[in-house]
């Protein structure tokens, strides 16, 4: 049973361990006279006022055209900076992601890499033997290895991976230097077990100019960090209790695990049947540990609607016209439930579907990396 529980936890474990593609900013409208202005011109009996009005119209249109061209050229500059950064990363670094496919933390990293059109290779880790990551003293996934020539850099923890790569894309700092900004620290969790935590993991290491280019305001930066942490500290803990809520749902979840994961024949059979039973029981403890409601679906629904309310009605994403790191984190966590009853119920009983489909579309439309 202990082995089955270990196998089961890998689906949604408690701790798996350029700026966003910059499109054009909204162009300011051309400055045009009002209808009242035209009427005034038409009613004028004097040639000079009519001439002055015409000059004002022309001047207003010229100013509008100037600002339009200015914004257009600025947008082109930003897109050029992004392309150059992506080209540098994809040309000099070979990225390899060690993962469990159905792990929400791994899914977060894939969402980030795909949205930013960064090419990478995937190594699916066997959740029992974990031989694929025997090179690492850090024994959780995701692990990202960035190879550059004869040297390589290992990045651990999903949020550190995302923050470090984003910092590199925006600032161009070497990854080797950036990783030192996120030092690991030993800490005790709620159960008294020693775990590894990483300092500053939701913070992008940017100078003031880079931060201004990245964010519209300090509040936008703080908001992104807050909701990235919410995805890790709360949303992810709703996954296991919901996908293992009933024996039938637990069995369906493990059928998905075996299909998508890397198991041998015996391991797969154990995961599907013994593991499903074990995780059904463990999910009850998780519900108690995280103080969830008797019907854990209600917690999932509340979280989904809370996120939608935070995004608001006036913007398609929390990042505005494009997903930011918080959008990608929440999407990545929820995506691992696709195909399961919990996901279908969430889509039916909350307001999250339009936002979710917009993020899905934005990732699917990411340009091919140079």
Give DSSP secondary structure letters for 290-328: TT--SSHHHHHHHHHHHHHHHH-SS-SBTTBSS--HHHH
**pLDDT of 65:** 45
Does 16 participate in catalysis according to the annotation? no
The yes-or-no verdict on residue 342 having pLDDT over 90 is: yes
Cis peptide before 138 (omega within 30 of 0): no
Residue with the larger pLDDT of the pair 83 and 233: 233
**pLDDT of 189:** 80
> Could you give the CA distance from residue 110 to residue 358 in angstroms, rounded to a whole number?
17
> Could you give the CA distance from residue 95 to residue 107 in angstroms, rounded to a whole number?
15
Q: Which of 16, 38, 66, 103 is catalytic?
A: 103
The yes-or-no verdict on residue 166 having pLDDT over 70 is: yes
Mean pLDDT (the chain) is 80
Residue with the larger pLDDT of the pair 80 and 284: 284
Provide the pLDDT confidence category of residue 91 given band limits of 50, 70 and 90.
low
Does 98 participate in catalysis according to the annotation? no
**pLDDT of 278:** 78
Q: Which of 273, 358, 266, 368 is nearest to 317 (CA)?
A: 358
> Could you give the CA distance from residue 12 to residue 238 in angstroms, rounded to a whole number?
10
CATH of domain 80-365: 1.20.1050.10
**pLDDT of 21:** 32
DSSP string, 88-150: HHHHH-EEEEEE-TT-HHHHHHHHHHHHTT--EEEEEPPTTT-GGGTT-S--SS-EEEEEETT
Provide the pLDDT confidence category of residue 368 given band limits of 50, 70 and 90.
low
Summarize the confidence of residues 155-162 as an average pLDDT.
98
The number of C-alpha atoms within 13 Å of 57 and in the hemisphere containing its C-beta is 14
**pLDDT of 89:** 59
Summarize the confidence of residues 83-107 as an average pLDDT.
79
Q: Which of 106, 263, 317, 356 is catalytic?
A: 106
Element (H, E) at 156: strand 151-156
Summarize the confidence of residues 196-216 as an average pLDDT.
95
For 288, other C-beta atoms within 10 Å of its C-beta total 10
Q: Which of 16, 98, 100, 356 is catalytic?
A: 100
Q: Which of 16, 98, 105, 198 is catalytic?
A: 105
pLDDT digits (tens, 9 = 90+) for 253-312: 888 777 776 666 666 666 666 777 877 888 888 889 899 999 999 999 999 999 999 999
The yes-or-no verdict on residue 33 having pLDDT over 80 is: no
Q: How far apart are the first and last CA of the chain?
A: 48
**pLDDT of 90:** 53
Map out the domains of the chain as residue ranges: 80-365
Report whether 143 contacts 180 (CB < 8 A): no
**pLDDT of 339:** 92
The yes-or-no verdict on residue 322 having pLDDT over 90 is: yes
> Could you give the CA distance from residue 367 to residue 114 in angstroms, rounded to a whole number?
9
Does 105 participate in catalysis according to the annotation? yes
The yes-or-no verdict on residue 3 having pLDDT over 50 is: no
Report whether 325 contacts 112 (CB < 8 A): yes
Residue with the larger pLDDT of the pair 195 and 334: 334
> Could you give the CA distance from residue 132 to residue 145 in angstroms, rounded to a whole number?
12
């Amino acid at each position: 049973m202990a082995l089955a529980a270990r196998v089961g936890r890998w689906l949604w474990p408690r701790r798996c361990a350029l700026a966003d593609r910059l499109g054009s900013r909204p162009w300011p409208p051309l400055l045009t006279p009002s209808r009242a202005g035209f009427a005034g011109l038409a009613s004028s009996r004097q040639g000079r006022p009519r001439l002055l009005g015409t000059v004002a119209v022309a001047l207003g249109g010229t100013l509008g055209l100037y600002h339009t061209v200015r914004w257009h050229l600025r947008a082109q500059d930003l897109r050029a900076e992004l392309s150059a950064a992506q080209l540098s990363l994809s040309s000099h670094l070979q990225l390899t992601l060690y993962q469990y496919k159905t792990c929400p933390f791994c899914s977060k990293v894939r969402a980030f890499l795909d949205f930013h059109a960064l090419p990478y290779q995937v190594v699916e880790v066997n959740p029992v033997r974990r031989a694929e990551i025997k090179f690492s003293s850090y024994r959780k996934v995701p692990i990202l290895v960035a190879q550059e020539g004869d040297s390589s850099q290992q990045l651990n923890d999903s949020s550190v991976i995302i923050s470090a790569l984003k910092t590199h894309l925006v600032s161009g700092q070497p990854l080797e230097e950036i990783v030192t900004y996120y030092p690991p620290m030993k800490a005790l969790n709620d159960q008294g077990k020693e775990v590894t935590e990483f300092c500053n993991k939701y913070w992008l290491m940017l100078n003031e100019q880079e931060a201004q280019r990245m964010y519209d305001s300090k509040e936008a930066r703080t908001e992104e960090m807050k909701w990235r942490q919410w995805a890790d500290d709360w949303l992810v803990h709703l996954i296991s209790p919901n996908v293992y809520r009933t024996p039938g749902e637990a069995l369906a979840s493990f059928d998905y695990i075996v299909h998508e994961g890397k198991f041998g024949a015996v391991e797969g059979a154990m995961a599907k049947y013994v593991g499903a039973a074990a995780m059904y029981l463990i999910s009850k403890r998780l519900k108690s540990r995280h103080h969830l409601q008797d019907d854990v679906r209600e917690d999932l629904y509340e979280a989904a609607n809370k996120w939608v309310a935070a995004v608001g009605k006036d913007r398609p994403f929390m990042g505005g016209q494009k997903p930011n790191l918080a959008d990608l984190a929440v999407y990545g966590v929820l995506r691992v439930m696709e195909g399961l009853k919990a996901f279908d119920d969430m889509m039916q009983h909350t307001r999250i579907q339009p936002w979710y489909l917009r993020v899905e579309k934005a990732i699917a439309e990411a340009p091919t990396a140079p």
